[in-house]
Every structure is written in structure tokens, then in C-alpha cells.
């Protein structure tokens, strides 16, 4: 755990290397020390149809799903670390944000 799901505007594929973005998010999650490296999962999904205001800005949204039990401070550290990992690749190219959420007790593996 965690599941890091990167959703992005498909036109970004012509501007940045998405595999580097995946690597950076993975590195950031690992850097927090909150998880066993082997348990971190990161995937990226492009969206061809999207609307982000009048300017149709490109975006990268990362949702980090966790099993319950992490403290608010741990979630905040994780979110800020993942957000910072995207800065170099995305600054000035896209909006970027992170949401850290607990998975419900109905998650099965």
C-alpha cells in the first residue's frame, strides 16, 4: 500500500515524459518511509476529454489511496512530498494537485 493513481490531460504526453512522472511519484512515496518499497503501486491514466476552466489548462491529479490507520500528519507529509515531486516536471506546464484518501474497510486483496 499505497495506490497512487495519476490522472492527467492526454496532451501532456507531448510535453513531458509520463514514465518519469510515474517514477517521481513512486520515489516520493518511498521517500516518506511510510511504506515497504515493494508495496507501493503507481499508475498513470490519460484523459482525452476534460474541461479545466475557460483556458482548458492541462493538469495532473494524483490520488493516493491508503488503508485506514495513518495519522493526519503522515497523510500531510505524504501529500506534500508527492506534490513536491511533480514540481520540476510540471511547473509552468500544468496544474498539479494531490489528494490522500483512506480506502474503506471493504478493500480486498
CATH of the domain at 10: 3.30.429.10
Tens digit of each residue's pLDDT (9 = 90 or more) over 7-63: 999 999 999 999 999 999 999 999 999 999 999 999 999 999 998 877 789 999 999
Place 106 in a pLDDT band, splitting at 50, 70 and 90.
confident
Domain that holds residue 98: 3-102
Domain count, the chain: 1
Residue 77 lies in a domain: yes
**DSSP-based three-state secondary structure for 21:** helix
Residue 107 lies in a domain: no
Give dist(CA 83, CA 98) in Å, integer: 6
Residue 109 lies in a domain: no
Place 105 in a pLDDT band, splitting at 50, 70 and 90.
confident
Residue 64 lies in a domain: yes
Residue 61 lies in a domain: yes
What's the pTM value of the predicted model, to 2 decimals? Answer: 0.91
Amino acid at each position: 500500500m499505497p495506490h497512487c493513481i495519476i490522472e492527467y490531460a492526454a496532451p501532456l504526453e507531448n510535453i513531458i515524459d509520463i514514465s518519469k512522472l510515474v517514477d517521481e511519484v513512486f520515489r516520493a512515496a518511498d521517500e516518506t518511509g511510510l511504506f515497504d518499497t515493494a508495496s507501493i503501486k503507481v499508475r498513470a491514466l490519460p484523459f482525452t476529454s476534460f474541461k479545466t476552466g475557460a483556458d482548458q489548462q492541462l493538469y495532473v491529479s494524483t490520488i493516493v489511496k491508503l488503508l485506514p490507520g495513518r495519522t493526519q500528519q503522515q497523510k500531510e507529509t505524504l501529500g506534500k512530498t508527492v506534490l513536491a515531486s511533480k514540481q520540476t516536471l510540471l511547473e509552468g506546464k500544468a496544474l498539479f494537485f494531490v489528494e490522500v484518501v483512506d480506502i474503506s474497510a471493504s478493500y480486498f486483496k
